[in-house]
Chains A and B, each alone.
Chain A
């Protein structure tokens, strides 16, 4: 059972109780209760088919579910869509990309929750987009269409879009897809910076070593949460090894935790 006693209620970003969700006719999440602390970086890991992406979508309010989800103290259904969108930014995995829009325009779409319906982008919008594009090193080719960019470049633009929302809570599903090592390192640094600034970051990562850079780890298997704890804890490491059938081992190297394959 996840350990929630040490977490005070006003520093909870997302509180989920008894979540059940189905994809088609198959129940994918079985009675999940989870508390994600605010101003912390939580990583969700687990084997394929554990339901990580589904859980993230449910927490973002994008899938129908049974149970309760509260965002920053308020129940999700009670919030208007726009309000929720201003507080919560979601980056999906393999979502279609707008090949014909420029990188700048794509990043500007992240400002939609803040823009009045028919209003053109304001000075703040432009500033936010500029910050976001700089943060992902995508500023230099902001005028190029997405279809002309490589996989990694495109991913960085989509990341910028998620950042441009400047929401309190960021949910990111496989944010490192197609990124090469320098940019993976950049992302790790960026996540840490966001958390230091008081934002909450929740990421689903299948690269376990990168996931171990976070503050908290949520381990999932077969639609249930098997463990939640600090990334540095030994119990967390054991839970991690167990969920992957002891095919990995967690070791420390150069001040970081690493999951190496056990051949």
Chain B
């Protein structure tokens, strides 16, 4: 920041405070996450004597907990970008059809695993997550094709909804003829960190870094767009190219998260709102804070999912809906008392 004393320091302070709180929460939840497993809560101290327990922590709990943080960060980032790009507070990262595409990719992969040994061999190599990621990317491309580019926001939204519904229907049809896959796909549809290993963490971390940097660099476009398309244009912003780049970031971040953890609802939608309820700021900081908020939200939900019914696991998507949705409801309730919109 410049040496000039900011005429508006309190906002700056609020932003820093929120970031600090979220980072501290992340560390605390990491410690908690490592302690929660199939036997419920067990202190780290007990684990130091048991080789198997340590190995479990290293190879299962640590990557899962960190993976939850990373996936939540990706979704929070994508949510902030989606809401800014579509200028719609109800936008979520799955708007461009990436969720349905990922589901279709995973469904097809599972079907092929059972039907063709050749495909199975291949699929094991590249992994089910790659199939899901490929499905997500193809769905977004299809949306862009149907909308004939990124210029018209409304067309893009509609195309995304259409692609989402159609691909979802195709998935359902495939599942109807392969009922033995229904349970596995249900697990995917409600989200789970059970499949996240260190490789997945590394992948998500790199995508998160790239996406954060790219989104932050283009955050002023989102700010301009908030004033309206014509105003943004009048401010000299090169909208077409920037929009393509933002859609690419959105698709990449969402596709990566969904491929690794399945469809986790609400994190992308709620995280930006939760940040805005605490501090009003421009998109540059909003994106970073939203990312942090999403990370903390998903991490907390994942820990609860593993803890509540140990050794059984609840689907983490149910808990994100309860946590995120519950807090949003409370916010709305508080706000309607004051008469202001959310």
B116 interface residue, CB < 8 Å from A?
no
Q: How many A-B Cβ pairs are below 8 Å?
A: 102
Q: B233: which A residues are within 8 A, CB to CB?
A: 62, 81
B46 interface residue, CB < 8 Å from A?
no
> Are A102 and B220 touching (Cβ within 8 A)?
no
Q: A109: which B residues are within 8 A, CB to CB?
A: 223-224, 227, 235
**Residue interface bits B4-22, CB-to-A below 8 A is 1, else 0:** 1011101100000000000
> Are B223 and A101 touching (Cβ within 8 A)?
yes
| Contact pick for B11, options A62, A81, A130, A143, CB 8 Å | A143
Binding stretch for chain A, among B167-175, B184-192, B274-282: B274-282
**Residue interface bits B292-318, CB-to-A below 8 A is 1, else 0:** 000000000000000000000000000
Binding stretch for chain B, among A88-96, A182-190, A206-214: A88-96
A82 interface residue, CB < 8 Å from B?
yes
**Interface of chain B residues 235 through 251 with chain A (CB within 8 A):** 235-238
Assembled-state Cα–Cα distance A111/B328 (Å):
34
* Interface residues contributed by chain A, number (CB under 8 Å): 48
A147 interface residue, CB < 8 Å from B?
yes
Contacts known (A85-B234, A96-B87, A101-B226); A123 close to B2, Cβ less than 8 A: yes
| Contact pick for A113, options B223, B227, B236, B341, CB 8 Å | B236
| Contact pick for B236, options A98, A112, A147, CB 8 Å | A112
Assembled-state Cα–Cα distance A112/B7 (Å):
18
B199 interface residue, CB < 8 Å from A?
no
A41 interface residue, CB < 8 Å from B?
no
Assembled-state Cα–Cα distance A102/B7 (Å):
13
Assembled-state Cα–Cα distance A122/B220 (Å):
15
> Are B276 and A100 touching (Cβ within 8 A)?
yes
A30 interface residue, CB < 8 Å from B?
no
Tell me, rounded to whole Å, the shortest Cβ–Cβ distance linking B7 to chain A: 6
**Interface of chain A residues 151 through 203 with chain B (CB within 8 A):** 158, 161, 165
> Are A102 and B280 touching (Cβ within 8 A)?
yes
Q: A92: which B residues are within 8 A, CB to CB?
A: 228, 230-231, 234
> Are A112 and B237 touching (Cβ within 8 A)?
yes
Contacts known (A60-B234, A148-B340); A161 close to B227, Cβ less than 8 A: yes
A118 interface residue, CB < 8 Å from B?
yes
Assembled-state Cα–Cα distance A89/B233 (Å):
11
Tell me, rounded to whole Å, the shortest Cβ–Cβ distance linking B62 to chain A: 35
Contacts known (A96-B226, A112-B224, A123-B4); A84 close to B236, Cβ less than 8 A: yes
| Contact pick for B228, options A82, A95, A101, A108, CB 8 Å | A95
Tell me, rounded to whole Å, the shortest Cβ–Cβ distance linking A239 to chain B: 29
| Contact pick for A86, options B220, B226, B236, B281, CB 8 Å | B236
A99 interface residue, CB < 8 Å from B?
yes
Q: A147: which B residues are within 8 A, CB to CB?
A: 340-341
> Are A90 and B7 touching (Cβ within 8 A)?
no
| Contact pick for A110, options B10, B235, B280, CB 8 Å | B235
Tell me, rounded to whole Å, the shortest Cβ–Cβ distance linking A24 to chain B: 13
| Contact pick for A142, options B4, B8, B282, CB 8 Å | B8
Tell me, rounded to whole Å, the shortest Cβ–Cβ distance linking A219 to chain B: 24
Q: A255: which B residues are within 8 A, CB to CB?
A: none
Contacts known (A84-B236, A130-B7, A143-B10); A95 close to B341, Cβ less than 8 A: no
| Contact pick for A81, options B231, B237, B341, CB 8 Å | B237
B217 interface residue, CB < 8 Å from A?
yes
B1 interface residue, CB < 8 Å from A?
yes
Assembled-state Cα–Cα distance A121/B1 (Å):
8
Contacts known (A130-B7, A147-B341); A97 close to B227, Cβ less than 8 A: yes
Q: B7: which A residues are within 8 A, CB to CB?
A: 104, 126, 130, 142
**Residue interface bits B318-342, CB-to-A below 8 A is 1, else 0:** 0000000000000000000000110
Contacts known (A86-B236, A100-B276, A126-B4); A105 close to B281, Cβ less than 8 A: yes
A120 interface residue, CB < 8 Å from B?
yes
Assembled-state Cα–Cα distance A158/B234 (Å):
14
| Contact pick for A120, options B1, B10, B230, B231, CB 8 Å | B1
Q: B4: which A residues are within 8 A, CB to CB?
A: 123, 126
- Known: A62-B233, A101-B223, A105-B282; 9 extra A-B contacts, CB below 8 A, are A61-B234, A62-B234, A90-B231, A101-B226, A102-B281, A113-B236, A126-B4, A143-B8, A158-B227
Sorted from nearest, which 8 A-B pairs have the closest CB atoms? Answer: A85-B236, A95-B228, A98-B226, A90-B234, A82-B236, A81-B236, A145-B280, A113-B236
Can you show 15 pairs from A to B with CB atoms below 8 A apart? Answer: A61-B234, A84-B236, A88-B234, A90-B230, A95-B228, A95-B230, A102-B281, A104-B8, A104-B11, A105-B280, A105-B281, A110-B235, A130-B7, A142-B7, A145-B280
Which of A's residues lie within 8 Å of B, judged by CB? Answer: 57, 60-62, 81-86, 88-92, 95-102, 104-106, 108-110, 112-113, 115, 117-118, 120-123, 126, 130, 142-143, 145, 147-148, 158, 161, 165
